[in-house]
Amino acid sequence: MKIAVVNGPNLNFLGIREPGIYGNDTYEDLVRIVGNHGSELNCELEFFQSNGEGTIIDFLQKCYYEKVDGIIINPGAYTHYSYAIRDAIESIKIPTVEVHLSNIHKREGFRSVSVVKEVCIHQIYGKKIEGYLEAIDFLLERHNND
């Protein structure tokens, strides 16, 4: 199974950015930990991070052409207002799990709104990097039951 792991703006700053909220692990740690989990389960993972909305959309469209089986996306702050990313997820028709490191439902009010939620098959939040591992398991189980 081929899964793309997409991280949006400021997630390259993990470990530097508000460690009390996002943890001390860096983006490189995230890639290593999530990558190891994928390898153990024989999943082919592709990691992508961008601070730009258009580049994220270009990558999602590339996933369509490359027939990726599943997507894990943490759109960062775009979660809360990017209808363009929402539309991209809807149009590619690839099962997508939305992941957030922090508990977006227990922070500022604007963070509890996700405009991508309804086009994703599942939303995971507040479990730090563990949430990405859970997302792989969720996509695998769904794929194997198809």
Q: Which residues in this chain contact ligand DQA in the complex, by CB under 6 A?
A: 10, 74, 76-77, 79, 100-102, 104, 111
Q: Is 83 among the residues known to form the active site? A: no
Rounded CA separation 29/37 (Å)? 12
Closest-CA residue to 140 (of 117, 114, 115, 121): 121
> For residues 56 and 69, which CB has a smaller minimum distance to ligand DQA in the complex?
56
Q: Is 22 among the residues known to form the active site? A: yes
Catalytic residue among 27, 37, 78, 100: 100
Rounded CA separation 140/20 (Å)? 31
Query: In the complex, what is the shortest distance from the CB of residue 35 to ligand DQA, in angstroms, rounded to a whole number?
Result: 18
Other beta carbons within 10 angstroms of residue 45's beta carbon come to 20
> For residues 82 and 102, which CB has a smaller minimum distance to ligand DQA in the complex?
102
Rounded CA separation 98/91 (Å)? 16
Query: In the complex, what is the shortest distance from the CB of residue 19 to ligand DQA, in angstroms, rounded to a whole number?
Result: 13
> For residues 12 and 92, which CB has a smaller minimum distance to ligand DQA in the complex?
12
Q: What one-character DSSP code corresponds to residue 96?
A: E
Catalytic residue among 22, 27, 78, 132: 22
Query: In the complex, what is the shortest distance from the CB of residue 79 to ligand DQA, in angstroms, rounded to a whole number?
Result: 6
Rounded CA separation 128/100 (Å)? 7
Active site residues: 22, 100
